[in-house]
C-alpha cells in the first residue's frame, strides 16, 4: 500500500465487491443493495457514479468512507425523471425550463430542498439546497426507477483522483470498498455534468460540464452568472477545490514544447516542439472537443500509468465542451 492509499479512507470496512451485469437481473440486484443501504457504482452518460440511498444517512456515510471524501462536500441526488425531481426540489421558472430542455442529460440543477424531501443532511452537507440530476443513460435510469428513491452519487473514484469512465477504473480505485459495480461499458460523455444553481435571481454556473454553457444561455435567453469556485473557503460548490482532479503525475497546460522525460497529451494536429518517443495520446486527432471529453479521464489515467513525473498537455480550445475539459485540466494542474 502506498502513501496515497494509507492517507485517506481507512474507515471503509473491507468487503467483496460484486460485479453485476447491466441486464435485468443485475439491475434488480443493484436496486436491492441500494434499498438495503449498500453502495453501488453504476454508469451514467457522464462518468460512473457511486450510489447510495440519499434518504439513508448511514448509506451516504458509506460513500464518504469508500471515497475518503471530505465530509463537507454535498452530493448530487439522481432521479429517473422530472416528476421525481419535483418531489425533492423547489423549481423556479428558470430551473423548470432547463429541466424540460436538458433532462435526461448531463445537467445538474441546484435548487432549494423541498420541505420533507427526506434527503438526509449528510447528502447535502447540511446545505438548504439540493443538486438534482436525471441522467441520460438507460442503465442508470432503469436502476433509479427500480430503486424508487433518490440516489446520492458522486463520481466513483477515490477522493482527489480522476473520475472513472469504465467499470475497470471504478474497481481500480474502490474494489473491496463498495458493495457492487454495474458494468455498463464506457460512459459516452466522459466529463461530469454541468452544474447550474437556480436559487432565485440569475442562474449561476457552478461547474462547466457535459452541457455547454452556450446551450444553457441560449435556452435562458441571457447569460449565466459565474460562481465557479477556486477558493477552498468559498462554500457554494465546495467540490470545486482547486486540485480536485489529480493524477499522480504533475500536469502542465498549453505546452507548445515538451521535455524528453514528459508524457504528452495531444489535441488535433498540433505537435509541440521537442516530440521524440515520449508516451503520447491524442484526445481527438480530428480536433473534436466532444471526442476529447469522452477520452479525457481515460487518457489521463493511461499517461499517468506511464510513470513520468509530468504530463504536458497541448493547447485545447475553450469553446463548447472545451470549457469543461480545460477546467478539469486546470484543476489537475493545480499545486497540491
Ligand atoms: O456527472 C456528474 O455530475 C457525476 C455523475 C456520477 O452524476 N457526479 C459528480 O458528482 O460529478 P461529484 O460529487 O463528483 O461532484 C458534484 C459536485 C461537487 O462539486 C459538489 O460540491 C456540487 O456538485 N454540489 C452538489 N450539491 C450541491 C449544492 N447543493 N450546492 C452546491 N454545489 C453542490
Ligand atoms: Mg468527483
Quick check: 239 pLDDT over 60? no
Distance from Cα 198 to the centre of ligand 1, integer Å? 15
Q: What is the pTM for the complete model shown? A: 0.83
Ligand 1 mutation pick, 131, 178, 188, max ligand atoms within 8 A of CB:
131
Mean pLDDT of all residues in the chain? 88
Quick check: 1 pLDDT over 70? no
The per-residue pLDDT for 245 is: 58
Kindly indicate the confidence band of residue 10, based on its pLDDT and cuts at 50, 70 and 90: low
Share of the chain above pLDDT 90, in %: 66
The per-residue pLDDT for 320 is: 80
Using CA positions, which residue lies closest to atom 12 of ligand 1?
Answer: 154
Quick check: 228 pLDDT over 60? no
The per-residue pLDDT for 234 is: 40
The per-residue pLDDT for 62 is: 86
Distance from Cα 50 to the centre of ligand 2, integer Å? 10
pLDDT greater at residue 290 or residue 119: 119
Q: What is the pLDDT of residues 95-106, one digit of tens each?
A: 999 999 999 999
Ligand 1 mutation pick, 152, 166, 195, max ligand atoms within 8 A of CB:
195
Quick check: 196 pLDDT over 90? yes
Least confident of 59-73, 77-91, 103-117: 59-73
pLDDT (mean) for 222-251 = 62
Distance from Cα 237 to the centre of ligand 1, integer Å? 8
Distance from Cα 162 to the centre of ligand 2, integer Å? 8
pLDDT greater at residue 314 or residue 238: 314
Quick check: 170 pLDDT over 80? yes
Strands ordered across the beta sheet of 280-282: 250-252, 310-313, 263-266, 280-282
Q: Give me the sign of the Cα torsion angle 228, 233, 239, 240.
A: positive
Name the E strands within the chain: 18-21, 40-43, 48-53, 76-78, 107-112, 129-133, 151-152, 180-183, 194-197, 204-207, 225-226, 250-252, 263-266, 280-282, 310-313
Q: Residue 199's closest CA among 315, 104, 71, 113?
A: 113
The per-residue pLDDT for 71 is: 53
Rounded Cα gap, residues 71 and 61, in angstroms: 9
Amino acid at each position: 500500500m502506498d502513501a496515497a492509499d494509507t492517507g485517506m479512507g481507512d474507515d471503509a470496512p473491507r468487503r467483496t465487491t460484486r460485479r453485476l451485469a447491466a441486464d435485468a437481473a443485475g439491475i434488480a440486484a443493484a436496486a436491492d443493495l441500494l434499498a438495503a443501504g449498500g453502495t453501488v457504482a453504476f454508469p451514467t452518460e457522464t462518468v460512473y457514479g457511486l450510489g447510495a440511498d440519499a434518504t439513508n444517512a448511514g448509506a451516504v456515510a458509506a460513500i464518504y468512507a469508500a471515497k475518503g471524501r471530505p465530509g463537507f462536500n454535498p452530493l448530487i441526488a439522481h432521479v429517473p425523471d422530472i416528476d421525481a425531481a419535483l418531489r425533492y426540489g423547489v423549481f423556479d421558472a428558470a430551473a423548470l425550463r432547463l429541466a424540460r430542455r436538458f433532462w435526461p442529460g448531463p445537467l445538474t440543477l441546484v435548487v432549494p430542498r423541498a420541505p420533507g424531501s427526506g434527503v438526509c443532511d449528510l447528502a447535502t452537507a447540511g446545505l438548504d439546497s439540493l443538486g438534482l440530476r436525471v441522467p441520460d443513460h438507460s442503465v442508470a435510469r432503469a436502476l433509479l426507477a427500480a430503486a424508487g428513491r433518490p440516489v446520492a452519487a458522486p463520481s466513483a473514484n477515490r477522493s482527489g483522483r480522476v473520475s472513472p469512465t469504465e467499470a475497470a477504473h471504478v474497481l481500480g480505485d474502490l474494489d473491496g470498498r463498495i458493495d457492487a459495480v454495474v458494468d455498463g461499458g464506457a460512459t459516452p460523455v466522459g466529463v461530469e455534468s454541468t452544474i447550474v444553481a437556480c436559487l432565485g435571481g440569475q442562474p449561476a454556473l457552478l461547474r462547466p460540464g457535459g452541457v455547454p454553457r452556450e446551450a444553457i444561455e441560449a435556452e435562458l435567453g441571457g447569460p449565466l452568472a459565474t460562481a465557479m469556485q477556486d477558493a477552498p473557503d468559498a462554500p457554494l460548490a465546495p467540490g470545486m477545490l482547486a486540485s480536485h482532479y489529480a493524477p499522480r503525475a504533475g500536469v502542465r497546460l498549453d505546452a507548445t514544447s515538451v521535455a524528453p522525460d514528459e508524457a504528452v497529451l495531444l489535441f488535433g494536429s498540433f505537435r509541440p516542439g521537442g516530440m521524440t518517443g515520449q508516451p503520447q495520446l491524442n484526445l481527438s486527432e480530428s480536433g473534436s472537443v466532444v471526442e476529447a471529453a469522452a477520452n479525457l479521464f481515460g487518457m489521463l489515467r493511461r499517461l499517468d500509468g506511464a510513470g513520468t513525473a509530468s504530463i504536458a498537455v497541448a493547447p485545447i480550445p475553450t469553446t463548447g465542451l472545451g470549457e469543461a475539459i480545460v477546467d478539469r485540466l486546470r484543476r489537475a494542474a493545480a499545486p497540491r
